[in-house]
Structure 1
């Protein structure tokens, strides 16, 4: 993955965890239970050891109140 900073509203998270593997597993389960064409990403919150699962298309801008994240994986 790239090291680009992206922004998400933490309230839009599908799931979150302090453990990357748990967050990825939650994303896999979510995608299996709710099939969709939408891309799901696992992102690490900037400056925190917290991984959150989001739909990629819910990305925000800093001006729109988004919190900085770095994409760690995509499904």
Structure 2
């Protein structure tokens, strides 16, 4: 994903929010990432669902680790 696409995605996901403390859920981010690849050749519904599932797992795991790290501080 290019920097330009990532910046546009972030702007859309945080529209109307406090820019210093935006809130983006794992589901929102996974869906936005899927939107950016859904038109690619070979992006079948099954492949997109597998990708979404994998992305959610990674993003939720990262959020849990971050929360645990913050709790330790």
TM-score by length of 1: 0.28
Q: Which has the higher helix share?
A: 2
Rg (Cα) greater in structure: 2
State TM-score, norm by structure 2: 0.29
| Higher relative contact order structure (alpha carbons within 8 Å, sequence separation ≥ 6) | 1
Larger strand share, 1 or 2: 1
